[in-house]
A and B are shown apart, each in its own frame.
Chain A
């Protein structure tokens, strides 16, 4: 493309001029671009209960997401795995567009349409250059709210679902099973479709789930680099069911249980965790995140091995030099999980797991140097998320879906660097040690995948 552009004579002179201009201006660099304001983002509520939030962005790419609080935790036994099928079915034929039409139109505009599902939410995101996105919001709306689920299209895409199931890594599997052991229902539902439900999600079932969960009460629209009135206009025209449904799922209860899956692998992957704070507690959830980084999340330098100083890695590698471990902190709106995940050769996995549990039990006596490192790492991780438009819009979407008030305008709690910095600076060592004490004295849940001949059972862990 570039070569054909410079072939046009008029453009060539422009190109040359620009070239000279940049060459001349090179010594004196002028920062004339508009810096993003990075103010905390305000979320407003429309009459149809949809929450709308928008942030400015200097990026030439704009992003708009429609988020529903309809993740896998809202599934029940009869429609388990429904959200996985919904994700696979995103972008198939809708009321006014065909699968092919959607694909080609987005392609032609150079855009990107994605669907992401989690335990809490389902997100449909459109990425496109600033000048084009306005015309294509209609497609995003159709894909999110007017899906048709034609039986042949859904069944044509089942191989993609099966491939995803088959290519899950044992680590992912262990974390899924850990949720299942710890919460049983609700949050215990996997984001993956269980094997016995593959192909069982007929169009009626999908339609029923969408009608029950894609409601105004559960919907949010966020955008970056798009005018807020435009977003509001789109959000008020969304074709949504009006009924709020049961907006709050049943509260998740933590169980001290274990799940083991034997496979013919030479390794064992073990995840152990106790109950942690939910995101709604704010401070405690952040303290857990600091503690996670203080305990160690593996090397932060690619191919690096500088994580030997982490208390968790130290203990685990003393037991088995071939094992690798990372602390785990998973936070959901009402509850969370905190613990570690490790992989080790089958013969020595037992010792590694015991060492990991000991590190977890000793978390409340963690040193101040480690905590300071944890805070610095968390701060940089969160601030770096503001750098990338993709993670920023994801973050805004989650906050709008989980925290924004449905009764009036509100400010999103962690939507600007200043808020993040204030929140992390506000954490004292005592706060982190308090949550560490809870984990050290609390009960644990456990999931293990692989060759488990040496891996101890939950009641054998001290």
Chain B
């Protein structure tokens, strides 16, 4: 279920194409957001640790609900699907910072 966290340079030139691709990816039918589906790398784990508690609670709820839906071979009713416009990529600012910090660390540790 993991998706690429990169905003693809090519697709971003065509907003409608982006929206079409978003809807096609399918995770929104489970009520998930883009950042709920990231691979839990070390960076993502650290970013999640820094997330405010209320945002983290909402994420955990969405993931629980998606797991339950997956278990019952079901999806949400269409009006509850995550809309492209509503997906705010809540984790990205934290993730960017974590990545910048990691790159700085690697730069310093380089001989």
Q: Which residues of chain A have a CB within 8 Å of any CB of chain B?
A: 98, 100-101, 104, 150-152
Contacts and interface: CB of A to CB of B under 8 A. Distances in A.
A104 B49 contact: no
- Label chain A's interface by main secondary structure: helix
15 contacts: A98-B100, A98-B101, A98-B104, A100-B101, A100-B104, A100-B105, A100-B108, A101-B104, A101-B108, A104-B108, A150-B50, A151-B50, A151-B52, A152-B49, A152-B50
Contacts of A151: 50, 52
A98 B108 CA distance: 13
B109 to A, nearest CB: 9
Scoring B49, B52, B101 by chain A CB atoms within 10 A of each residue's CB, the highest score goes to B101
B49 to A, nearest CB: 6
Contacts of B101: 98, 100
Contacts, number: 15
A101 B107 CA distance: 10
Nearest to B101: A98
A159 to B, nearest CB: 16
A391 to B, nearest CB: 33
A388 B52 CA distance: 46
Interface residues of B, number: 8
Contacts of A101: 104, 108
Interface of B: 49-50, 52, 100-101, 104-105, 108
A104 B108 CA distance: 8
Given A100-B104, A104-B108, 5 more contacts: A100-B101, A100-B105, A101-B108, A150-B50, A152-B50
Contacts of B100: 98
Nearest to A101: B104
A100 to B, nearest CB: 6
A98 B102 CA distance: 11
Nearest to A99: B101
Nearest to B108: A104
A200 to B, nearest CB: 16
Nearest to A153: B50
What 4 A-B pairs have minimum CB-CB distances, sorted nearest first?
Answer: A152-B50, A104-B108, A98-B101, A101-B104
A151 B53 CA distance: 11
A151 B52 CA distance: 9
Nearest to B94: A152
A101 B52 CA distance: 24
Scoring B49, B100, B104 by chain A CB atoms within 10 A of each residue's CB, the highest score goes to B104
Contacts of B108: 100-101, 104
Nearest to A105: B108
Contacts of B104: 98, 100-101
A290 B49 CA distance: 55
A166 B52 CA distance: 29
